[in-house]
Amino acid sequence: CLTAFSTSGCRIIGACLLPPMILQPLVENAVKHGIGGLLEGGMIRVAAERAGSLLRIRVENDVDPIDAGARAEVRAESGIGLVNVRQRLAAAYGREGSVHWAREDNLFRVDLVLPAENEEK
């Protein structure tokens, strides 16, 4: 049960280009492996900021605090979605593109970093 979804930074990065469907697997994972199992529902947050020539995007979601952190990390390491995003960013941007994920307490966070490209390029 999704109780809230929030975004921030959309106006700031509005002109930046993203690879097609790069955020979809991250939000899908946030539902499927995060808030989907929470009886009380949960929050998914998507935030973006431009930092010089880079675009930083964060997707984070609530997770069950009782769920073992190691189990969540194993799922992330072996999951198709995050690995696919990592491979696509590496293919498109080389070392300039990256994805990192971590679990902290009752949050799971995914951070993307890629060049801030716009349509005028």
| 108 is a domain residue | no
Residue 60 domain boundaries? 2-96
| 81/65: higher pLDDT | 81
Judge whether 34 lies within some domain: yes
Which regions of 13-82 does DSSP assign to beta strands (E)? Answer: 42-51, 54-62
Q: Is residue 112 in some structural domain?
A: no
In a domain, 56, yes or no: yes
Domain count along the chain: 1
Q: Flag whether 92 is in a domain.
A: yes
Specify if 42 maps to a domain.
Answer: yes
Tell me the per-residue pLDDT of 75-104, one tens digit each, with 9 for 90 and over.
555 578 899 999 999 999 999 999 999 988
Sign of CA dihedral 85, 91, 94, 96: negative
> What pLDDT, on a 0 to 100 scale, did the predictor assign at position 95?
94
Is residue 103 in some structural domain? no
Closest CA to 120 of 9, 13, 15, 21: 15
